[in-house]
């Protein structure tokens, strides 16, 4: 493969699940009848209910142990525990409701594994919408946030605080949580400097995940303490993608960015943060042209510091990976370097 320009992350990007070979003769039908070269092949899809894969007898690599894997769609996080207890579902590699994990933690029928992801849970801010276009306002928000209380209340105490857009699981991570320690008085001072000593009102649009809905209530309370009155607006994912991500029609929102090594999103000109910093953009451009590992680590550290300096968003915590599965199963990932359910090593022990 010959690239038009150097791209230091090319090989990394090729390791993504999205980097697949698509046969021209199946391209038009892959949406409903996917064809791939993995250890499983597609058998059936019941829309809104389940997807079934079966073991491939033409797989080029080591054969897998499972003959079949059925992925159930469980839209209600509260239904996860009942699904496990009834035996309807044997594994949740990414358990949807951290608060419920305690219900099965000591149950010998199940194994509970708490790991890490490359995801950053953040309070996203529309940087071009007044008054959030003022640095003092964004900094005030960051000082108003009590990360520990948010983690305890929205993620059952699971998760590591972050101070910029990098997961602690990443080797380039720099701990910048000390930039904005919880400080209500400092937050109020900054709002006064911004000419908003009487506070202001704003909206907080929340997508469905529990970390957003629960975290939103906590953050609204914390910002209220410094004079920022938030109206909470729950939205479904389709609405969030349309209103927030695409049209940038929002003040604040909460979301986990689960793609690894995605700090470059802050340099995208039409991205929903509405952030613009030429110095940051230059660092990302240099990063894309740099293959020397030590230089890349330096550039990534500089990029993280700029985002913290600019208080682009409210950096909250690393999204944890809580896995729960039948105790007789093994081979699931403890940590998730990418968004995937890898079943290649999963097997029943008895």
- For residue 15, what pLDDT band results from cuts at 50, 70 and 90? confident
Nearest Cα neighbor of 147 from 318, 347, 332, 327 is 318
Three-state SS sequence of 242-271: HHHHHCCCCCEEEEEECCCCCHHHHHCCCC
Mean pLDDT of 275-292: 96
32 touches 43 (CB < 8 A): no
Could you give the maximum distance between any two Cα atoms of the chain, in Å? 68
Residues of the chain with CATH 3.40.190.10: 21-116+323-348
pLDDT of residue 230: 99
More confident residue, 186 or 18: 186
pLDDT band with cut points at 50, 70 and 90 for residue 94: very high
Region 188-213: mean pLDDT is 97
Could you report the per-residue pLDDT of 297-334, keeping only the tens digit for each? 999 999 999 999 999 999 999 999 999 999 999 999 99
On the question of pLDDT at 18 being above 80, the answer is no
Query: In the chain, pLDDT over 90 holds for what percent of residues?
Result: 84
**What pLDDT was estimated at residue 304?**
99
| Residues 54-64 pLDDT 10s | 999 999 999 99
Does 133 have pLDDT greater than 80? yes
- CATH for the 21-116+323-348 domain, from 3.40.50.1440, 3.40.190.10, 3.40.228.10, 3.40.50.300: 3.40.190.10
pLDDT for the residue numbered 280? 99
Q: Stretch 210-214: mean pLDDT, rounded?
A: 95
Q: What is the mean pLDDT of residues 139-167?
A: 97
118-319 belongs to which homologous superfamily? Dipeptide-binding Protein; Domain 3 (3.10.105.10)
Query: Mean of the pLDDT values across residues 218-227?
Result: 99
The residue that leads in pLDDT, 35 or 151, is 151
In this model, does residue 132 exceed pLDDT 80?
yes
For the cut 90, the answer to whether the pLDDT of residue 21 exceeds it is: no
- Ranges in the chain annotated CATH 3.10.105.10: 118-319
- C-alpha 204/C-alpha 154 separation (Å) is 16
């Amino acid at each position: 493969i010959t690239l038009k320009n150097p791209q230091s992350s090319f090989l990394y990007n090729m390791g993504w699940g999205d980097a697949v070979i698509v046969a021209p003769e199946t391209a038009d039908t892959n949406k409903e009848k996917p064809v791939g070269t993995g250890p499983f092949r597609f058998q059936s899809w019941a829309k809104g209910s389940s997807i079934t894969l079966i073991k491939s007898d033409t797989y080029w690599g080591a054969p897998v142990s499972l003959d079949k894997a059925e992925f159930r769609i469980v839209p209600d996080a509260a239904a996860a525990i009942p699904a496990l207890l009834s035996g309807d579902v044997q594994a949740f590699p990414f358990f949807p409701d951290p608060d419920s994990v305690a219900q099965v933690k000591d149950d010998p029928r199940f194994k509970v594994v708490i790991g890490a992801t490359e995801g950053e849970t953040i309070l996203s801010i529309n940087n071009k919408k007044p008054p959030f276009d003022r640095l003092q306002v964004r900094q005030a928000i960051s000082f108003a946030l009590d990360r520990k209380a948010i983690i305890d209340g929205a993620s059952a105490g699971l998760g590591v605080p972050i101070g910029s857009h990098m997961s602690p699981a990443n080797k380039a991570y720099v701990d910048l949580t000390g930039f904005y320690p919880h400080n209500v008085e400092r937050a109020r001072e900054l709002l006064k400097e911004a000419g908003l000593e009487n506070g202001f009102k704003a909206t907080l649009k929340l997508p469905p995940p529990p970390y957003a809905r629960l975290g939103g209530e906590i953050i609204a309370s914390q910002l209220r303490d410094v004079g920022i009155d938030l109206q909470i607006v729950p939205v479904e994912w389709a609405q969030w993608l349309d209103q927030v991500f695409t049209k940038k029609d929002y003040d604040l929102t909460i979301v986990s960015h689960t793609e690894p090594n995605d700090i470059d999103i802050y340099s995208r000109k039409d991205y929903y943060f509405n952030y613009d910093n030429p110095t940051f953009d230059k660092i990302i451009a240099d990063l894309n042209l740099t293959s020397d590992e030590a230089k890349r680590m330096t550039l990534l550290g500089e990029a993280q510091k700029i985002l913290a300096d600019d208080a682009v968003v409210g950096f909250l915590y690393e999204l944890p990976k809580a896995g729960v599965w039948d105790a007789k199963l093994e081979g699931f990932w403890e940590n998730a370097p990418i968004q995937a359910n890898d079943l290649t090593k999963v097997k029943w022990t008895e």
